[in-house]
Structures are given as structure tokens and as C-alpha cells.
Amino acid sequence: MNPFRGYGAALQGASLLIALGMTSACAGEAPPQTTIEDPAAGALRVTVLARDLEHPWGMAFLPEGGALVTERPGRLRRLDANWRLDPEPIAGLPEIAAVGQGGLLDVALHPRFAENRRVYLSYAAAGDGGVGTEVAYGRLVDGRLQDLKVIFRARPKVEGGRHFGSRLLFLPDGHLLITLGDRGQREQAQSLAVHLGKTVRLTDEGAVPQDNPFAGREDALPEIYSLGHRNIQGATLAPDGTVWLHEHGPQGGDELNRLVAGGNYGWPVVTFGVEYGTGRPIGEGTHKPGMIDPVHVWVPSIAPSGLAHYGDGPIRAWRGQLLVGALKFMQLVRLALDADGRRVVDEVRLLDGRLGRIRDVRVGPDGLVYLLTDHPRGVLARIEPLPAD
């Protein structure tokens, strides 16, 4: 693996942003419809479905059509099957602390949502010592979350507004994976006594599965599933059960990883990133025995957020590939995997600022790709093949 793959593409993308102009995207005025050209798929249509979402962060598709979308300041919004935004936010949410990068973050539906109507939320919440990531669920009934239950509180809560994570992903066994940032406390990412810089695996009720890798150890919190992370804002499941994650590096060094139970992903002992401003090295280098090397690295950083595995949808050339949102260069990054689905063999960058900062990427029930943009007037957009003549 060439850890510096994509360096030239990143600079080219930055130049394209300047050439195209970023005024409309930065002003939340993405065109209603545009066409992009993908080297493998050809021409694709990008359509804005909804506007004026305030810093949208995550989305979940409803079985009856439409979706739930989180807004970071603390609102959960509903779009109907025709993508019309309900002017009234969903009521009954937990108390949310909109601090820095924190606020209302991800949303996920229970695998049996059609039966139990459970909606899971990750969010920043205040408490003793500061602010931290929490997860709760409630039943969605008549525009309100009922019977709200908090099932996880990251410990400890700390001051500051950085690195909350926090994607929610239901696994094939029905357990819930929660991704957590280091909250700016980098050394804590290596400690099994705290949740900072970890992934956590719980049952749908918040209990610790007995087969968690650190369950039963006196020196570890039993809900921890992996460690050594900086700030994971992308998680997706491949058909073979592989969980893919990506996370923000410091100055450079964003990573794509495959999740391994009990795995140590190195931060801050090993990283491809450097200190902001000074460029000084961090830790002990880029590799160390006992720590898992990333599958793919972005130098310079693309600031990845949102991650989806593309299945058997109508964009045939994208099947089996990963789609990554990029905040920094306002791009959608397509990663082609090898035949085994284990190694990145190509990287293509699309959009180049036409929509804005891509915060979330999802594949809908229709096999089309849906994007959220991080902006005070963010949008929900859809990518689809152009209709045949």
C-alpha cells in the first residue's frame, strides 16, 4: 500500500475548487440538479432533494419512504416519501449539548424498526466534568420519541468541543457498534479504562455482550471493542460482514480501516499525520508490532465523514466499492476494492465543491446514493444514473 496515494488528486481537487468557484456551495446554494462524470460509471445525475437543513449530520431511511435526518444543533427532522421536510421537528429528544463539533449526531433504526419503532441517537451531553457522547433510543410514535432510554454514556466527560465520533451501526448479530473520538485527549485512546478513542459494542438494550474482546478483564471497560482511534466519523457494513471504518488524522494521516475485535489501531503511538502548524512527528512513527496498519491513508487529509459500501444498486460500475464523504475538499471519494474486497486499488474524487462539505453518505433502499452537506443551510442530495435515451 502506498500511504501517500491521492496526494496529487487532493491538490488537483483543491485547484478545481478554485477554478469552479465555491461561492454557491459555501452559501448553501447548490444547483437543483447537475451532472458529474465518473471515469467508470459515466455521466451521473445529482439532484438536491431538500434544503435548509441546519448542519445535518446523519440520516436513516424509513421503511414507509423518506428519512430521518439529524441537525447538529439538536433537532431530528422527518422527510416524507416525496422528500418534503416536516416543518415540526420530532419531539421527545434527550437533552443535547451543542458544543463545538458536538450536538445531535447520528441516527439509526433498530433492525426490527417496523415492529418496535425504535430510533437510536448519538449525541453530546453535558455532565460532571464536561461533555461526552451518549446514545439513547425511543419509540417513534406520532412525531415523538416515546419511552426514551439512555443506553450508553461515554466516560469520562471532558471539557472542550472536539472529537465526539460518533457513528451508529447495527451488526449482523443484532448488536450495536458505537464509534467514539478521543475528545482531544489523545493519550487516553490507548487506555482500556476509559471510552475515549474506542469503538463500543452493546446489545440493543445497552448490555455488554459476553463475547466482547475485553469482557472479564479487571483492567478494561467491558463494552470496548477496539482502541487506538482518533475520531471515527464513518462506519459501514459490507455484505460479507466486514465492518469498514474511517477516521480523521491530525494534519494529514486520515485512515481507512477494517474493524477487528480487540484491535489496536495505534493512535497516538503510530500515525501518518503530524502536529498542526509545526509539522513535527507524532508518536513513534507509522508502524509498530501489535498495532493494526490502515488499509488506506490520505495525506494530505480529506477530513472524511460518512462512509457507505455500495451493493448491487443501479450504478453498476460502483458495485462492491466504498464511498467516502470529504469535508475538506467538498468531494465524494470512491474507493475501488480488489476482487477479495480487502485492498484499495483505485481512488476517484467526484463533485469538487458542487454541493459543499459532505458530512454523510448513505445508500438508500433504492440503491441510489444520498449525501448530506455540513452547512447552516445544508442539503440532502441524491446521485443516480442518467435515464436512458
Per-residue burial over 209-237, b = 16 or more CB atoms within 10 Å of its CB, e = otherwise = beebbbeeeeebbbbbbbbbbbbbbbbbb
* pLDDT above 90 as % of the chain: 91
pLDDT in tens, 303-357: 999 999 999 999 999 999 999 999 999 999 999 999 999 999 999 999 999 999 9
Whether 194 maps to a domain, the answer reads yes
Query: Distance between alpha carbon 86 and the CA centroid of its chain, in Å?
Result: 24
Q: How confident is the model at residue 21 (pLDDT cuts 50, 70, 90)?
A: very low
pLDDT in tens, 112-153: 999 999 999 999 999 999 999 999 999 999 999 999 999 999
Q: Give pLDDT, residue 2.
A: 43
Whether 250 maps to a domain, the answer reads yes
What residue numbers bound the domain in which 104 lies? 7-385
pLDDT in tens, 31-51: 899 999 999 999 999 999 999
Q: pLDDT at residue 285 above 50? A: yes
CATH number for the domain that contains residue 99: 2.120.10.30
Q: Give pLDDT, residue 14.
A: 39
Whether 312 maps to a domain, the answer reads yes
Task: Give 234's strand partners.
Answer: 246
Whether 248 maps to a domain, the answer reads yes
Is the Cβ–Cβ distance between 138 and 145 less than 8 Å? yes
Cβ neighbours of residue 336 under 8 Å, at least 6 residues apart? 40, 321, 344, 345, 346, 347, 348
Most confident of 10-14, 17-21, 242-246: 242-246
Is the Cβ–Cβ distance between 76 and 91 less than 8 Å? no
Closest CA to 51 of 20, 88, 84: 84
Average pLDDT, the chain: 93
Q: Give pLDDT, residue 12.
A: 38
Q: Give pLDDT, residue 71.
A: 98
Q: Give pLDDT, residue 17.
A: 37
Whether 258 maps to a domain, the answer reads yes
Q: How confident is the model at residue 30 (pLDDT cuts 50, 70, 90)?
A: confident
pLDDT in tens, 76-120: 999 999 999 999 999 999 999 999 999 999 999 999 999 999 999
Whether 2 maps to a domain, the answer reads no
Q: How many domains does the chain have?
A: 1
Q: How far is CA 131 from CA 97, 101, 157, 190, in A?
A: 7, 11, 5, 20
Per-residue burial over 315-336, b = 16 or more CB atoms within 10 Å of its CB, e = otherwise = beebeebbbbbbbbbbbbbbbb
Q: Is 375 a catalytic residue?
A: no
Whether 175 maps to a domain, the answer reads yes
Cβ neighbours of residue 306 under 8 Å, at least 6 residues apart? 233, 234, 324, 325, 358, 359, 360, 361, 362, 371, 372
Higher pLDDT, 188 or 3: 188
The Cβ of residue 89 has, within 10 Å, a number of other Cβ atoms equal to 14
**Alpha helix segments (H runs only) across 2-128:** 7-20, 23-26, 113-116
* pLDDT above 70 as % of the chain: 92
Catalytic residue selected from 55, 110, 163, 195: 163
Higher pLDDT, 239 or 4: 239
Q: pLDDT at residue 11 above 60? A: no
Strands (E), 26-84: 33-38, 42-53, 56-61, 67-71, 75-79
Q: Give pLDDT, residue 137.
A: 98
Whether 1 maps to a domain, the answer reads no
Q: Give pLDDT, residue 28.
A: 54
Q: Give pLDDT, residue 170.
A: 98
